[in-house]
């Protein structure tokens, strides 16, 4: 795929922005969710959480507009990008973030929040159905499989469960929870087999391995939302899975530490935020002496990590001429590498 930019009279040759960049809004929404949980359980100011939700909303809209504007100047069609084996599944982040934003908006403007959640839910379901059918056509290679394949059905399904319940649709929430859990088992099995038996992912895609941390945390939050924040068979089972996935990520830290920084690092952000938010909920249930201090350490940790990735990203795209295009090219080369280009 060409990296050149179109010139007047020479046709449309600008490459589309890699869909991996949508993880920026997803990570910011995750951080906003952490601070909203901190406001509810730790007495943190609601202002911090709402400011972060506004930042996430601005990033979401800005990314959508940027992708649409670049796409209008690109020789590559949206259909081609959605069929790309590395990029396609990540498109699910657009309606997934929309559901998260709608659920927060519902707290203040119920009608607008409900409309945004429902519209995003419909898009999520249609995209999940389409991409499952596309996968069934035998269009994938094992090398292209990465953590982002959990997004269209698992991540979106479990987040749909939480957000649907919050706008007053418990039946939809239970159905979405079932979809998310079913595909969590199926796709995680395939993903772990790919990571074990095929060559390592390119550096810019390696952070997607962190997405394995998200399903037990997001499922746990969804279950607490549907069934109440109390220890039961399901919630304890999900906590156990989260502990194991956390240990896995800790043992992967030496591999992550040697990765060159790229915009792909945003793949770390939402899984970490989801795990911290769910961890805070469990700490409030355990309520041992000093649990609030432990919870605040987790809030500080996730805030510092995501802020550091944000600052590094800004430096990456502003420190050199055409820095944004260079940052995009790193993601694009990684995406094309797993496709065999």
- Rounded to whole angstroms, the Cα distance separating 163 from 170 reads 10
Contact of 117 with 159, CB cutoff 8 Å: no
335 has pLDDT over 80: no
Give pLDDT, residue 15. 86
Can you tell me which residue has the tokens 């500080």? 300
Q: Please give the pLDDT value at position 3.
A: 41
* For residues 1-29, average pLDDT: 71
Please give the pLDDT value at position 337. 73
pTM over 0.85: yes
Q: Residue 301: what pLDDT? A: 97
pLDDT band, very low/low/confident/very high, at 5 (cuts 50, 70, 90): very low
Taking each helix axis from N to C end, the angle separating 156-166 and 93-106, rounded to the nearest 10 degrees, works out to 20
Structural Rg of the chain based on CA atoms: 19
Burial label for 251, CB within 10 Å (0-12, 13-18, 19+), is exposed
Domain at 22-60+82-339, CATH class: mainly alpha
**CA pair distance 84, 335, nearest whole angstrom:** 8
**What is the pLDDT of the chain when averaged over all its residues?**
92
Q: Which of 247, 242, 244 is nearest to 275 (CA)?
A: 242
Tokens at 84, concatenated = 């790309």
Task: Give per-residue pLDDT as tens, 20-77.
Answer: 999 999 999 999 999 999 999 999 999 999 999 999 999 999 999 999 999 998 888 9
Domain ranges of the chain: 22-60+82-339
């Amino acid at each position: 795929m060409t990296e050149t930019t179109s010139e007047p009279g020479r046709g449309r040759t600008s490459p589309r922005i890699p869909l991996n960049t949508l993880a920026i809004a997803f990570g910011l929404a995750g951080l906003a969710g952490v601070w909203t949980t901190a406001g509810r359980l730790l007495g943190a100011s609601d202002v911090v959480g709402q400011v972060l939700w506004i930042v996430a909303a601005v990033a979401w809209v800005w990314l959508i507009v940027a992708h649409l504007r670049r796409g209008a100047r690109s020789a590559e069609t949206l259909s081609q990008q959605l069929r790309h084996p590395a990029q396609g599944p990540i498109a699910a982040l657009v309606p997934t973030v929309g559901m998260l934003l709608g659920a927060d908006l519902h707290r203040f403007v119920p009608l607008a929040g409900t409309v945004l959640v429902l519209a995003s839910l419909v898009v999520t379901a249609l995209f999940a159905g389409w991409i499952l059918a596309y996968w069934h056509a035998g269009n994938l290679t094992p090398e292209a499989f990465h953590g982002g394949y959990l997004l269209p059905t698992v991540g979106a399904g479990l987040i749909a469960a939480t957000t649907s319940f919050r706008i007053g649709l418990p039946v939809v929430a239970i159905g979405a929870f079932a979809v998310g859990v079913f595909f969590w088992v199926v796709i995680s099995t395939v993903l772990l087999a790919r990571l074990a038996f095929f060559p390592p992912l390119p550096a810019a895609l390696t952070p997607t391995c962190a997405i394995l941390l998200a399903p037990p945390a997001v499922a746990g939050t969804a279950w607490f939302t549907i069934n109440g924040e109390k220890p039961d068979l399901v919630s304890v089972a999900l906590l156990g899975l989260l502990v194991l996935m956390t240990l896995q990520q800790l043992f992967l830290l030496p591999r992550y530490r040697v990765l060159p920084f790229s915009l792909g690092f945003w793949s770390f952000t939402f899984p970490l935020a989801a795990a911290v938010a769910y961890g805070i909920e469990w700490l409030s249930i355990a309520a041992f002496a000093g649990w609030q201090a432990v919870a605040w350490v987790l809030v500080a940790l996730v805030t510092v990590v995501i802020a550091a990735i944000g600052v590094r990203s800004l430096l990456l795209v502003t420190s050199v001429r055409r820095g944004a295009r260079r940052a995009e090219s790193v993601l694009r080369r990684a995406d094309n590498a797993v496709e065999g280009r």
